[in-house]
Amino acid sequence: MRSDVSRWMLLAVFLLALPFGASADWGALNMPVGVTEISKEVYTLHMRIFYICCIIGALVFAVMIYSMFAHRKSKGAVAADFHESTAVEIVWTIVPLIILIAMSIPAAKVLVKMEDFSDSDMTIGVTGYQWRWHYSYLDEGIEFYSQLDREHNAARQQGAEVDLEQFGEIYLREVDNPLVVPVGKKIRFLHTAADVIHSWWVPDLSVKKDAIPGFINENWAKIEEPGTYRGKCAELCGRDHGFMPIVVIALEQADYDEWVLDQQNKVAAATIDADRAWEHQELVATGEAVYQSNCMSCHQKEGQGIPGMFPAIGGSHIATGDIDTHIETVLNGVTETAMTGFSGKLSDSELAAVITYQRNAFGNETGDTLQPAALKTFRQGQQQTLLTQPQLVTDTGVN
């Protein structure tokens, strides 16, 4: 009876394995080697401990399997009587201990190197928000938010009839504003978070560090090759934890310098944009786009919200009532709820647009138009109350 079952099972294993073995691309199966000195050393450690584990496993399983065939009662094996040996026990305590010590020395060396934050060439503040990253280049005065690309965001909604194949390997790993850095520079990252704990992880750089609200963590990378490196938030941070990717683009120094100039010009242009007068329709159209990439994950596509968690915008007293309350809600958020303030995350034009949109969509018919310039004035009057998020102003405050 026994061998009957086993024989069937072996056949089943074989048949199950067939279609899988035959199919082609299984993607990467191993840790990436990465593009920094540290990531390469980490990879080496990983492979070394992996091989050690394979050898130990192979030895143990070989003995077991041999024994299972050779020492079975059905073959007439008679049980031996030994059941103790201090010498053997000592050997299999000491030998693994030696292997472990041999392994821990190189591991400790790499760890010490990873924790050496001195002599960095530049510093970037990385703040985690639900569910986007904020980058600020402390020396260049550039700052921006970076979140899941809008097309990917639409594709990942429940019931979205979108062919994911078009995105391929970068599905959910594309952002609107990637982090751009130079190669060959020791970049120091300062991590913190505004709401809950996040974790900034880019496998190719072998960096993963928690972003903890109210605390600042250090980290560093020195990228050796230009390229695009993708990562993800690694610490569960709420509903859209799976949807806050990281994209790092490493450029040669000259290209990087050009990018910096470009960014600085854009900041100047946005100021001009906010000061001009906008058409109502233009605001609504811009607002819809802003809504879809910033608000929809909670308030939902049709503005209906999720009962018990996120209020509906359609018919909301705030979105149809006094506009000042509406502006305040969007700028500052509502403390101790998932509704964080959007002041600073969105530009003045975007803020004015999304508020105008909310007041004229989902059945709300206020007919209001909020000009970016008016919002800017409102916001500047409120500046004081906005300093509720942790700020990475200078690096002097860090250990």
Binding of residue 330 to ligand HEC (CB under 6 A): yes
DSSP for residue 175: B
Comparing CB distances to Cu ion, the nearer of 148 and 353 is 148
Q: Could you tell me the smallest distance in angstroms from the CB atom of residue 211 to Cu ion?
A: 8
The packing angle between helices 323-332 and 372-382, to 10°, is 70
Site for other proteins in 265-284 (CB under 8 A): none
Binding of residue 142 to ligand HEC (CB under 6 A): no
**Cα separation of 213 and 219, whole Å?**
16
Q: Could you tell me the smallest distance in angstroms from the CB atom of residue 254 to other proteins?
A: 30
At residue 142, what are phi and psi to the nearest 5 degrees? -100, 140
Give the pairing of strands 217-221 and 187-193: antiparallel
Binding of residue 398 to other proteins (CB under 8 A): no
Provide the 10 A C-beta neighbour count for residue 312: 17
Q: Which does 358 bind (CB under 5 to 8 A by kind): Cu ion, other proteins, ligand HEC, none?
A: ligand HEC
Q: Could you tell me the smallest distance in angstroms from the CB atom of residue 170 to other proteins?
A: 7
**Cα separation of 106 and 284, whole Å?**
59
Q: Which does 108 bind (CB under 5 to 8 A by kind): other proteins, Cu ion, ligand HEC, none?
A: other proteins
Binding of residue 354 to ligand HEC (CB under 6 A): yes
Binding ligand HEC by CB under 6 A: which of 193, 298, 352, 370?
Answer: 298
Binding of residue 88 to other proteins (CB under 8 A): yes
Comparing CB distances to other proteins, the nearer of 186 and 241 is 241
Measured CA distances, 4 to 8, 74, 77, 244 (Å): 6, 15, 21, 52
DSSP for residue 143: E
Binding of residue 389 to ligand HEC (CB under 6 A): no
Q: Which does 218 bind (CB under 5 to 8 A by kind): other proteins, Cu ion, ligand HEC, none?
A: other proteins
Measured CA distances, 32 to 201, 262, 347 (Å): 13, 32, 37
Binding Cu ion by CB under 5 A: which of 134, 173, 191, 198?
Answer: 198
Tokens of 222: 């020195």
Binding other proteins by CB under 8 A: which of 40, 150, 222, 239?
Answer: 239
Binding ligand HEC by CB under 6 A: which of 297, 343, 349, 360?
Answer: 297
Reading phi first (left if > 0) and then psi (alpha if -120 to 50, else beta), residue 227 is in left
Binding of residue 295 to ligand HEC (CB under 6 A): yes
Q: What is the per-residue burial (b if ≥16 Cβ within 10 Å, else e) of 129-164?
A: bbbbbbbbbbeeebbbbbbbbeebbebbeeeeeeee
To 5 degrees, how large is the angle CA 10–CA 11–CA 13? 65
Asked if 333 and 339 count as a contact pair (C-beta separation under 8 A), the reply is yes
Query: Could you tell me the sign of the dihedral formed by the alpha carbons of 206, 215, 348, 326, in that order?
Result: positive
Q: Could you tell me the smallest distance in angstroms from the CB atom of residue 235 to Cu ion?
A: 6
Binding ligand HEC by CB under 6 A: which of 123, 127, 130, 364?
Answer: 130
| Residues forming the site for ligand HEC (CB under 6 A) | 130, 294-295, 297-299, 310-311, 316-319, 326, 329-330, 334, 337-339, 342, 354, 358
| Residues forming the site for Cu ion (CB under 5 A) | 198, 233, 237, 244
